[in-house]
Structure 1
Amino acid sequence: MSNVQLVSLWDVERQKLIDLMNNVQVRAQLPLLTNVFTQASCTVFLEAKQQLWDEHGYGPWAFMINGEFAGWGGLQPESGEADFALVLHPDYWGYGLKIFKLFERIAFDEMNLSSMTALFPPSRKNWRALIRFGFIKEQELVVNERTFIRFRLRNNR
């Protein structure tokens, strides 16, 4: 099976992150990404993600699969909750469950969280996969004028 490694977002070549965030298929899944992702917006993005680590002790990672940058995500603070985010290049969309299972273990076995959330825009049809993973649909909420559905997975370990 393929090797998934977690590395700092800062360790990824910026152009690879920029290319991912400007990928048409990826952008279609990210309603908050409304502008072209430039060098300048990449810097702002990286600094914001580093601030999460500095303030909360956790945040998103970059994913390397077989040594190649595949995407980013993981657990990040969102309104007092640990929220699971996953942004993968389309070439790696089949790796979502493996990456999720890694972060489920981190959230519940290492961080001892009572639950984690995931925010999905209603337009994403694959949110039903979250239900198969054990998440429960909680409510709709608005983030930066965009509607999302919040799902929660409780720690039953």
Structure 2
Amino acid sequence: MIETISFARLSEVNPAEIAAHMSDPRVAQHMPLLKGRWDVTAAQNFVDKKQAIWARDGLGHWAFLQDGRYIGWGGFQKEDNEWDFGLVLRPDAFGLGKHIVKKAIDFAISDSRIPFITFLLPPSRTNLGALLRLGAVQTGKIDYEGEPFLKFRLETKSNQ
């Protein structure tokens, strides 16, 4: 059931689960920045970096759980003065993205630090209907770490 989705800290997930998730070629298909081999050490380094972002900004990426089972990761990361939202699900949880995004947007609406959310999507993501139905507007194209991305913005506060 959808109601069983919860957000936890990435440090609560076994790094081997994250490594297996990020090693799946179906995950890499739309992640141009995903380079190299993911093993337990790489996963632990990733978790450590994400924990440092939490310490720096007071917000960051979560582990997404369904019935306590790890199904992916994502959340908000501050990029300059913008809060960018990312979502990376295990292939067996791809259909849960809509529900996770809604829960995350509800969080952003209630958090005074987040007047709007940005989304960076690789050009390989051609099905943008769900994002547009949420009210996100494409603001352009950007280069991020040498890769092209489509940039979208979703207002979370009225009169912004």
- TM-score of the superposition, structure 2-length normalised? 0.92
**2-structure distance, mates of 1:139, 1:35:** 29
Contact 2:16 2:43 in 1 (8 A): no
In structure 2, the residue matched to 1:90 is 91
Select between 69-78 and 125-134 the one with higher mean Cα deviation: 125-134
What is the alpha-carbon distance in structure 1 between the residues aligned to residue 80 and residue 37 of structure 2?
26
Return 33-42 or 50-59, whichever deviates more.
33-42
Give the 5 Å matches for 1:40-119.
Answer: 40-119=41-120
Q: Given the two structures, how large is their TM-score scaled by the length of structure 1? A: 0.94
1:126 matched to 2:127? The reply is yes
Deviation at 1:127, TM superposition (A): 2.9
Please tell me whether the aligned partners of residues 19 and 43 of structure 2 are also in contact (alpha carbons under 8 angstroms). yes
Alignment-mate amino acid for residue 60 of structure 1? H
Q: Return the alpha-carbon distance in structure 2 between the equivalents of residues 82 and 130 of structure 1.
A: 16
1:39 and 2:40 matched: yes
Partner AA of 1:85 in structure 2? G
**How far does the alpha carbon of each residue in 1:22-60 deviate from its partner, in whole angstroms, 9 at most, with x for none?**
011001121100211122322221121111101100000
- Residue type of the alignment partner of 1:138: T
Q: Deviations over 1:89-142 (max 9, x none)?
A: 111111111111111111111345210000000111223321111100001111
Q: Report what 2:138 is aligned to.
A: 137
Q: Give the match for residue 6 of structure 1.
A: 7
**Contact 1:120 / 1:127 at 8 angstroms: preserved in 2?**
no
Rounded Cα–Cα distance in structure 1 between residues aligned with 2:71 and 2:127? 19
In the alignment, the residues of structure 2 paired with residue 121 and residue 146 of structure 1 have an alpha-carbon distance, to the nearest angstrom, of: 8
Q: State how far apart, in whole Å, the 2-side matches of 1:127 and 1:142 are.
A: 19
Write out the 4+ residue segments of structure 1 that deviate beyond 6 Å after TM superposition: none
Structure 1 residue identity aligned to 2:129: R
- Superposition RMSD on alpha carbons, in Å? 1.3
Unaligned runs of 5+ in 2: none
